[in-house]
Chain A
């Protein structure tokens, strides 16, 4: 099993450009999450999807949008990238919101210049 697959692994954007980070899981999990990880800070939740067809804001949703395309796929979109969005982004999935033994992807290292 591949687990959670994220693409791309690395990306450099210019300020104002847009991009979509892709995430897919093959574990039949209901819940999926997008986190960002910055030096000196814990992982912070951007958006989550409790189940197919639902999405909700996390702690730091500003500047992002998400789509739960189907049960497997959950994408994160930056409409107009800003230097403050330079970070490492992780997608994760778990059986449910209440079962948070999550599996994480390998991460996307994004730099906005």
Chain B
């Protein structure tokens, strides 16, 4: 059974204090790993897709990386507007219909 575990559950950073969020996964064969951002009361917003170990993608202050067992979302010099819940999901090979989501990391960035 595919599993996704995100840590920490919650993270509080000061503005400018860089950190990383972790997404550990177990899947029979990885077709893709997805990162989403979710603001309170809103639907998830797509950020990145990673397909193979060693791949990296960047968007503004966010950089996602992938290994064979986990993915990291690095946040460099965060701002208060980066506060949100970050969700990770995996799609296994051969099961195009199914995405397995983690429960998310709730990030709060304070001044």
Q: Residues of A at under 8 Å CB distance from B? A: 4, 40-45, 48, 50, 56, 58-59, 90, 92, 97-98, 100-107
Contact = CB atoms under 8 A, between A and B. Distances in A.
Interface stretch (B61-69, B72-80, B96-104): B96-104
Contacts of B41: 106-107
A41 B103 CA distance: 5
Interface of B: 4, 31-32, 34, 41-46, 49, 87, 89, 91, 96-104
B6 to A, nearest CB: 9
Contacts, number: 54
A107 B100 CA distance: 19
B97 A42 contact: no
A22 to B, nearest CB: 15
A90 B44 contact: yes
Nearest to B101: A42
24 contacts: A40-B103, A42-B4, A42-B89, A42-B102, A43-B44, A43-B89, A43-B99, A44-B101, A45-B97, A45-B98, A45-B99, A58-B98, A59-B98, A90-B43, A92-B43, A97-B96, A97-B97, A100-B49, A100-B99, A101-B46, A104-B43, A106-B41, A106-B43, A107-B41
